[in-house]
Amino acid sequence: MVFKADGERAQGRRWMVIVTGGALGAEGFFRADLSSAEACVEAALEHLAKQQISPFT
């Protein structure tokens, strides 16, 4: 999986998270455009939890 936060985007949604990898199954991809890096991390972790995937194990 790859995590990327991009602070060079338009105001209001300056950060983007992309999570990709075979562990995500058929969808294999998650992206969110949010207002903070913290919100990006939270969204990515919530998505992984819904997929029953832990980045910590």
For each successive 10 residues of the chain (57 residues), what is the average pLDDT?
59 77 78 86 91 83
Query: Which pTM does this prediction carry?
Result: 0.73
| Alpha carbons 27 and 15: distance in angstroms, whole number | 22
| Alpha carbons 1 and 14: distance in angstroms, whole number | 21
φ/ψ (deg, to 5) at 42:
-60, -45
The pLDDT value given to residue 10: 61
